[in-house]
Amino acid sequence: MASHILRRLLATVPVVVIVAVLVFLLLRLTPGDPAAVIAGDHASAADIERIRASLGLDRPLLEQFFIWAGTLLQGDLGRSIISNMPISSLIAQRIEPTLSLAASTMLVSLLVSLPLGIAAAWGSRTWVDRFTMVLAILGFSLPVFLVAYTLIYFFSMKLGWFPVQGYRPLAQGVLPWLQGLALPTLSLSFTYIALLARTTRASMLDVLSEDYIRTAQAKGVRTRALLIRHAFSNAAVPVVTIAGIGITLLISGVVITETVFNIPGLGRLTVDAILSRDYPIIQALILLFSGVYVVINLLIDLLYLVLDPRIEY
């Protein structure tokens, strides 16, 4: 068990290293002159040279890599080209809204999708099932900004229940914080609910056709216990796996949702960096988000041991 955890930890190392190398090479090997592109259309030759030097692009490739990897290993993500602020402090300033949004989305998605998926599998071919499948296909088809603007139109502009835009920090009180988060969370949850409800339904359908479920039913186990303890605890592994892989979906959604709702989080930082062509920030955010993905999927892998005692390594 301990050796498995260690081995699993070591297995993440090549992934992280390859991501870092990819991100590094992206800037160096792209066709054209990235320094000129980053500098923009009205830059002078001196500006382009300054950016080239600040990105270290004027040195040999291998030397660049070791300098970059060295500073990265010390936890230094570099500095913004535009404001010259350390990127780690820019990220620290913006992390609260993004974390709040991601956590509330995760919570809402799980609370809605798990019961929905279980009910759909239990009432297969009934209206619950049809509703869930329609919701699932809509969730995959409706773009996050259409959902977001529709919600703003009805709940903020017509009914006035929620602010149109903006984010209130948790320090200003729980209620305003929740009010600001409600619509972004709903918009962002939609796809995730679709994904998780569909996976839960499929996984539950597989389990419900097992013999031991019929045995449990024949013994007179109550429906609730049957569905949750007997069936769902065995159907949870694929759901958790998909939830982990879906993290990238969530991260992409965060970038767009924060833009629609004008939330000063990491997604907004990304978009500002695109508009000012501040490549070091984009690079740091890719590394950060990929790191989050790797860590979450590592935790999920370890969670399998808890969810399914039959899995032995």
Partner 1 sequence: MSATTNLAAIAPMRRTWMPRFLRGRPALVGGAALLIVLVAIAIASPWLTGNPQAISPLNRLRPPSADLWFGADQLGRDIYARTLQGARVSLLVGVCVALLSAAIGLLVGVLCGFYRRLDAVVMRLMDALMAIPSILLAIALTTLVRGGVLLVIVAITVPEIPRVVRLVRSVVLTLRGQPYVIAAIAAGTRQPLIMLRHIVPNAVSPLIVQATYVCASAILTEAGLSFIGAGVPPEVPSWGNIIASARSYFQIAPWAIFFPGVGLALTVLAVNLLGDGLRDSLDPRASRRL
Instruction: Give the C-alpha separation, 253 to 188, whole Å.
Output: 6
Closest CA to 233 of 120, 123, 310: 310
- For partner 1, the binding residue among 179, 277, 304, 307 (CB under 8 A) is 277
- For partner 1, the binding residue among 155, 217, 303, 305 (CB under 8 A) is 217
Instruction: Give the C-alpha separation, 193 to 243, whole Å.
Output: 10
| Under rule CB under 8 A, residue 285 binds partner 1 | yes
| Alpha-carbon 91 to chain mean position | 16
Instruction: Give the C-alpha separation, 232 to 216, whole Å.
Output: 14
Do residues 57 and 35 touch, judged by C-beta distance below 8 A? yes
Q: Which is nearer to partner 1, 14 or 75 (CB)?
A: 14
Which of the ranges 1-9, 31-39, 68-76, 79-87 carries the binding residues for partner 1, by CB under 8 A? 31-39
- For partner 1, the binding residue among 259, 264, 304, 307 (CB under 8 A) is 259
Instruction: Give the C-alpha separation, 264 to 91, whole Å.
Output: 11
| Under rule CB under 8 A, residue 263 binds partner 1 | no
* Vertex 240: Cα angle to 234 and 245 (nearest 5): 145
- Reduce the DSSP state of residue 168 to 3 states and report it: coil
Binding mask 121-150 for partner 1 (x = CB under 8 A): xx-xx-----------xx-xxxxxxx--x-
| Under rule CB under 8 A, residue 214 binds partner 1 | yes
CA atoms within 13 A on the CB side of 243: 25
Instruction: Give the C-alpha separation, 195 to 109, whole Å.
Output: 9
| Under rule CB under 8 A, residue 164 binds partner 1 | yes
| Under rule CB under 8 A, residue 23 binds partner 1 | yes
Interface with partner 1 (CB under 8 A): 14-15, 18-19, 22-23, 26-27, 30-32, 34, 37-38, 121-122, 124-125, 137-138, 140-146, 149, 152-153, 157, 164, 198-199, 202, 205-206, 208-209, 213-214, 217, 245, 248, 251-252, 255-256, 259-260, 270-271, 273-275, 277, 279, 282-283, 285-286, 289-290, 293-294
